[in-house]
A = this chain, B = another copy of it.
Amino acid sequence: MHAAVIHAAHDVRFESVPDPVLSTGGDAIVRVVAACVCGSDLWPYRGVTETAAPKRIGHEFVGVVEEIGPDVRTVSVGDFVIAPFYDCDMTCVNCRNGFSTSCLDGGWWGAEDKRGAFADGGQGERVRVPHADGSLVATPGQPDAALVPHLLTLADVMGTGHHAAVSAGVGPGSTVVVVGDGAVGLCAVLASKRLGAERIVAMSRHADRQALARRFGATDIVAERGDEGVERIRAMFDGIGADHVLECVGTKESMDQALRSARPGGQVGFVGVPNGGPELPMRQMFSTNVGVRGGVAPVRNYIDELLPEVLSGAIEPGLVFDLELPLSEVGEAYAAMDERRAIKVLLRP
Give the nearest-CB partner of A97 in chain B.
Answer: B265
Are the C-beta atoms of B295 and A292 separated by less than 8 Å? no
Of the candidates B94, B286, B291, the one whose C-beta lies within 8 Å of that of A273 is: B286
User: In the complex the two chains form, what is the Cα distance from A273 to B282 in whole Å?
Assistant: 10
- Bitwise, A222-257 to B at CB < 8 A (1) or not (0) is 000000000000000011100000000000000100
The verdict on A98 contacting chain B, using a C-beta distance below 8 Å, is yes
The verdict on A277 contacting chain B, using a C-beta distance below 8 Å, is yes
Are the C-beta atoms of B277 and A94 separated by less than 8 Å? no
Of the candidates B101, B264, B280, B294, the one whose C-beta lies within 8 Å of that of A94 is: B264
User: In the complex the two chains form, what is the Cα distance from A289 to B238 in whole Å?
Assistant: 31
Of the candidates B270, B274, B289, B294, the one whose C-beta lies within 8 Å of that of A294 is: B289
A238 to chain B, nearest CB (A): 5
Known: A94-B240, A94-B264. A277 touches B282 (CB 8 A): yes
Which of chain B's residues have a CB closer than 8 A to the CB of A294? 285-286, 289, 291
Are the C-beta atoms of A102 and B264 separated by less than 8 Å? yes
User: In the complex the two chains form, what is the Cα distance from A93 to B255 in whole Å?
Assistant: 24
Number of residues from A at the complex interface, CB < 8 A: 39
Are the C-beta atoms of B298 and A289 separated by less than 8 Å? yes
Which of chain B's residues have a CB closer than 8 A to the CB of A283? 274, 277
Are the C-beta atoms of B280 and A289 separated by less than 8 Å? no
Are the C-beta atoms of B97 and A264 separated by less than 8 Å? yes
Of the candidates B264, B278, B291, the one whose C-beta lies within 8 Å of that of A167 is: B291
Of the candidates B101, B270, B282, the one whose C-beta lies within 8 Å of that of A279 is: B282
User: In the complex the two chains form, what is the Cα distance from A273 to B102 in whole Å?
Assistant: 30
Give the nearest-CB partner of A301 in chain B.
Answer: B265
Are the C-beta atoms of B288 and A102 separated by less than 8 Å? yes
Which of chain B's residues have a CB closer than 8 A to the CB of A289? 99, 101-102, 167, 293-296, 298
The verdict on A287 contacting chain B, using a C-beta distance below 8 Å, is yes
Which of chain B's residues have a CB closer than 8 A to the CB of A270? 286
Interface centre among A267, A282, A292, by most B CB within 10 Å?
A: A282
- Bitwise, A90-107 to B at CB < 8 A (1) or not (0) is 000110011101100000
Are the C-beta atoms of A281 and B279 separated by less than 8 Å? yes
Interface centre among A94, A255, A295, by most B CB within 10 Å?
A: A295
Are the C-beta atoms of B292 and A296 separated by less than 8 Å? no
Which of chain B's residues have a CB closer than 8 A to the CB of A240? 93-94, 102
Are the C-beta atoms of A263 and B94 separated by less than 8 Å? yes
Which of chain B's residues have a CB closer than 8 A to the CB of A267? 293
A345 to chain B, nearest CB (A): 25
Give the nearest-CB partner of A285 in chain B.
Answer: B295
A121 to chain B, nearest CB (A): 20
- Bitwise, A170-196 to B at CB < 8 A (1) or not (0) is 000000000000000000000000000
User: In the complex the two chains form, what is the Cα distance from A267 to B281 in whole Å?
Assistant: 18
A346 to chain B, nearest CB (A): 27
Report 9 cross-chain contacts, Cβ distance below 8 Å, ordered by A residue: A94-B264, A99-B289, A101-B264, A101-B289, A102-B264, A280-B282, A286-B295, A287-B295, A291-B294
> What 15 additional pairs, Cβ within 8 angstroms, besides A102-B240, A285-B295, A289-B298?
A94-B263, A102-B264, A102-B265, A255-B282, A273-B286, A274-B282, A274-B286, A277-B283, A279-B279, A279-B282, A285-B294, A287-B295, A287-B296, A289-B296, A292-B293
